[in-house]
Structure 1
Amino acid sequence: MKLPKLDLSIQKSCKPAMLGRMWQASRRALNLEHSPAHQFACSQWQSSPHPSTVYLIYRWLFFVSVVSIGVASFSCQRLPRLYEGPKVELNYMKWFIYFTNWGYLLIALQAGLALAVLHRYRAQKFNSPCEEDEIPIPLGRRARTPLLCRAYWLSHNIATDLAFVISLVYWALVHDPKIHEVNALNVLVHGGNSLSMLLELAVTSHPVRAAHALYSAGAGLAYGVFSAFYWAVGGTDRIGRPAIYPALDWNKPGSAFGFVALCAVVMVFAHALATFVAAARTRLASRMRARNHADRLALPTH
């Protein structure tokens, strides 16, 4: 009769411990701590742990290109060529109400932060390789990842997911041939954004954690809240319509809520794609290094 009581007491004591381990695992998955921190300043394809000159050139070219396209998008605003509605005067500041431009600002932000991280670590010397530590170290026993690196990692994750979702949603649901022109600038901000972040995923060396999808989904929900507030105070789009996007018309709250929820779900799948690309990049680079190392160790055949 005593054994069941003992088993029951063990089960009761195990529950808090199990919940504690689940909480710690969730906390580790969601945090923005990563070691070594200088991995954020490196490319996956360099052999040295020190930030390379080639990667520095790439980072500057990427930053200048993204900022130039963003400036062109802001300064070249005009009514659609096929627009036949009443004459309206464009308010350039309404550029900031569009989800596309939120996403593009995040691409520019992460590009600037990546450049700042690289310059921070370029003057330092490292003996450890620019790869993730294989043995996990408890958070309390290691130095925290610098705020600059955490800010870059967060903005990179969100910018990547937003770019994929923006390209998909725009061409599938938003683009209207009667209003929107298919020109170079339109293609760059609604297609080039995703290509840019795919390039970033292929070049950078830091990981993409699956749990960080919550941050991107939160960013999408934040835009939904903004659009509802903007509608509530009487805001209009650039040609005077009450909804920023036809699919996000808060005069029809049911469909608007559904659209926001759909975007949040798609954001999670977009993050899954980013996680897969980053993992494939890491595995391919590891195989190439192992093959090159084996070739150097191979004995001559003559």
Structure 2
Amino acid sequence: MIGRFWKKHFALRQIYPFHENPIVFVTCQWQRNKSEPNLKYLVYRTILTLFFIVPWAISIDRESGHGKWPIFLTNWGFTLCTTQAVIGLFLLVSCVLARQSTKMRRFQAIALRLYPTYWVLNTLATSTAFAITVVYWTKVYNVDTMKLDEMNYLVHGNNSVLMFIDLWMVSHPVRILHVVYTIVFGFTYTLFTLIYYSAGGTSRDGSRCIYKIVDWDKPLPTSLTCLGVIVFLVVLHMLAVLVADMRRRLDEKCCSKEQDTPPMSSGSKSQAAYVNEGMSVDIV
């Protein structure tokens, strides 16, 4: 039993973002027919993308006069959220269009090669959003010097709300070994803050540290803080794995028993074949 569990979750191939049934990246966990794209799910993904891309664009515009927008972890994380949402919507739209027109099937096959990128970015965005929300409101936010306005909530609170909802909506899994991407992301931002400090970079207020808890004038406490945040990211990733597994089990237990699965029509079989053919180009 342990051997099967280890082989399933910890085999080296589990690190790579490839899936044996790629249609899961364009379907919702809760839709009854999981063999083809769902228009209701398309509406959901469109709304989700707008909830990310609009605040993301506004935040860039607000910081345009300072040139400091790229240095903050909040903006790194929100960019991850926005990018994965856009790619996820693009994948789904390509499948919906291919369903309506045979001429679009070649475009779908090309577009769906992006599913590994979407998978990695979605995994990163989920744990990073949760970490940003917790760390910001517990360690960074200062009620005396920082505004609590709509934008502050959207990028430091609503980001986690949306990613948590999405974690329950998507049908693709969260793999344990994909935590390596989260760890690499954490160390990448840590290295960036150190390089930025060494190059004489400053924050909005002219101080040498981007965040007060990341002050490289105090290397030991800052190193421990960064390491602690990375460990926290790992914990959050594992929680996301559990939630995704719980979502799948709940679907199997509750939704699948509501009706006997009808035999797939020839049209649905054909559509599923087109989707998987297009998405399986990169599977090795």
Greater RCO, CA 8 A, separation 6+: 2
Out of 16, 20, 26, the position equivalent to 2:11 is 26
State the AA in 2 paired with 1:76.
Answer: R
Out of 121, 133, 139, the position equivalent to 2:95 is 121
TM-aligned CA deviation for residue 239 of structure 1:
1.2
Out of 8, 18, 26, the position equivalent to 1:41 is 26
- Find the aligned partners of 1:236 and 1:271 in 2 and give their Cα distance: 31
- Find the aligned partners of 2:210 and 2:170 in 1 and give their Cα distance: 34
- Find the aligned partners of 1:295 and 1:212 in 2 and give their Cα distance: 32
SS class of match (1:248): coil
Larger Rg: 1
Out of 253, 258, 264, the position equivalent to 1:287 is 253
SS class of match (1:93): coil
State the AA in 2 paired with 1:236.
Answer: T
State the AA in 2 paired with 1:254.
Answer: L
> Is 1:177 equivalent to 2:143 in the alignment?
yes
Deviation digits for residues 186-233 of structure 1 (CA, Å, limit 9, x no counterpart): 111111111110011011100001111121121011000000000111
Deviation digits for residues 156-215 of structure 1 (CA, Å, limit 9, x no counterpart): 000101001111111111111222111221111111111110011011100001111121
Residue identity over aligned pairs, in percent, reads 32
Deviation digits for residues 95-123 of structure 1 (CA, Å, limit 9, x no counterpart): 11100000000000000110121123224
Higher helix share: 2
2:46 equivalent in structure 1: 60
Cα RMSD for the two superposed structures: 2.3
TM-aligned CA deviation for residue 147 of structure 1:
3.7
Deviation digits for residues 29-59 of structure 1 (CA, Å, limit 9, x no counterpart): 2111112111100111111221111111111
1:143 equivalent in structure 2: none
Normalising by structure 1, report the TM-score: 0.76
Normalising by structure 2, report the TM-score: 0.81
CA separation of 1:291 and 1:63: change in aligned 2, threshold 3 A: same
CA contact (8 A) 2:10 2:177 kept: no
> Is 1:75 equivalent to 2:49 in the alignment?
no
2:201 equivalent in structure 1: 235
- Find the aligned partners of 1:245 and 1:223 in 2 and give their Cα distance: 13
Correspondence 1:262-273 to 2 at 5 A: 262-273=228-239
State the AA in 1 paired with 2:91.
Answer: V
4+ runs deviating over 4 angstroms:
none
CA separation of 1:256 and 1:91: change in aligned 2, threshold 3 A: farther
- Find the aligned partners of 1:197 and 1:174 in 2 and give their Cα distance: 21
State the AA in 2 paired with 1:120.
Answer: S
Out of 73, 79, 91, the position equivalent to 1:105 is 79
CA contact (8 A) 1:164 1:194 kept: yes
Count of aligned residue pairs for this structure pair? 245
- Find the aligned partners of 1:223 and 1:270 in 2 and give their Cα distance: 17
